[in-house]
């Protein structure tokens, strides 16, 4: 399928966001990706436009609104995420909520109802099992999940729609490298280490391998193809993380 339409990936400078930006670009979308780091530190192909955007700053809402008005994307992916630093302060907690949840909600609730746009909000299975290390991150994502439902209500009767893509353990470079290093140390296969890691991480996981980044791209494409029917939808690509009832 070819598109001449514009896609904007907020948080597209690395990891799954960069994979989505590159994949959409390959499929013919005109893609703009954002991140905090400068273009020179981002490994994206030159055909992908790039803008610096920091959602933790005082001007973040104005900056993000300006970017949306400039790009006018047909597809918008909110993938940006802030993870807590070790021993975070209260200010760090607030920054996590600003980046992951509050700035995107504030901006999108104003922007989406007047736009012809499918918005895919990336969420995390961390919302199902918070612990002492993931608690604040998980809470910001749980709030994002609730506010994405509120956004769907904002979009009702308009040409815009918003859906959640809720992800489980991804095969991102950092995780894959870490598991491969452990496999070398233990003189076993990466597959065996990955399977053991997943079984220990969450007994509800139903797969023995990490989720390929390409499955995320295909899920985003599926949500865009659904059009308005995807408004309010929750698409779970999370290896069964929440167990059997949800």
Binding site for ligand NAP (CB under 6 A): 11-17, 35-37, 53-56, 79-82, 99, 122, 124-125, 141, 167-170, 172
Closest approach of Cβ 244 to ligand NAP, in Å? Answer: 20
Q: 234: which strand partners?
A: 164
The span from the CA of 85 to the CA of 100, in Å, is 14
Query: Do the beta carbons of residue 74 and residue 117 sit within 8 Å?
Result: yes
**Residue 144 or 160: which CB sits closer to ligand NAP?**
144
Please give the residue whose beta carbon sits closest to ligand NAP in the complex.
Answer: 15
Closest approach of Cβ 234 to ligand NAP, in Å? Answer: 14
**Residue 116 or 173: which CB sits closer to ligand NAP?**
173
Query: Do the beta carbons of residue 24 and residue 75 sit within 8 Å?
Result: yes
**Residue 12 or 23: which CB sits closer to ligand NAP?**
12
The span from the CA of 33 to the CA of 238, in Å, is 24
Closest approach of Cβ 91 to ligand NAP, in Å? Answer: 13
**Residue 30 or 219: which CB sits closer to ligand NAP?**
219
Closest approach of Cβ 230 to ligand NAP, in Å? Answer: 18
**Residue 103 or 155: which CB sits closer to ligand NAP?**
103
Nearest residue to 232 via CA among 172, 147, 170: 147
Closest approach of Cβ 127 to ligand NAP, in Å? Answer: 10
Strand ordering across the sheet containing 161-167: 49-52, 30-35, 6-10, 75-78, 118-124, 161-167, 234-237
**Residue 8, CA distances (Å) to 158, 209, 244 in order:** 20, 29, 34
The span from the CA of 123 to the CA of 168, in Å, is 9
Closest approach of Cβ 55 to ligand NAP, in Å? Answer: 4
Query: Do the beta carbons of residue 37 and residue 52 sit within 8 Å?
Result: yes
**Residue 67 or 160: which CB sits closer to ligand NAP?**
67
Query: Do the beta carbons of residue 82 and residue 36 sit within 8 Å?
Result: no
The span from the CA of 147 to the CA of 113, in Å, is 15
């Amino acid at each position: 399928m070819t598109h001449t339409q514009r896609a904007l990936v907020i948080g597209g400078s690395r990891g799954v966001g960069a994979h989505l930006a590159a994949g959409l670009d390959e499929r013919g979308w005109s893609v703009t990706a954002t991140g905090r780091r400068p273009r020179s530190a981002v490994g994206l192909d030159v055909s992908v436009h790039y803008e610096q955007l920091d959602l933790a700053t005082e001007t973040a809402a104005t900056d993000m609104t300006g970017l949306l008005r400039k790009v006018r994307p047909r597809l918008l992916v909110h993938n940006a995420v802030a993870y807590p630093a070790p021993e975070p302060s209260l200010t760090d907690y607030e920054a996590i909520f600003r980046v992951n949840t509050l700035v995107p909600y504030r901006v999108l609730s104003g922007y989406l109802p007047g736009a012809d746009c499918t918005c895919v909000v990336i969420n995390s299975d961390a919302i199902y099992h918070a612990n002492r290390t993931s608690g604040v991150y998980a809470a910001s994502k749980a709030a994002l999940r609730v506010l994405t439902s509120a956004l769907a209500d904002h979009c009702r009767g308009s040409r815009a729609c918003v859906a959640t893509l809720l992800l489980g353990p991804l095969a991102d470079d950092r995780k894959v490298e870490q598991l491969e290093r452990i496999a070398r140390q233990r003189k076993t296969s990466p597959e065996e280490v990955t399977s053991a890691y997943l079984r220990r991480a969450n007994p509800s996981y139903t797969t023995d391998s990490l989720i390929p980044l390409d499955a995320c791209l295909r899920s985003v494409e599926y949500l865009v193809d659904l059009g308005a029917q995807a408004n309010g939808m929750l698409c779970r690509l999370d290896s069964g993380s929440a167990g059997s009832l949800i």
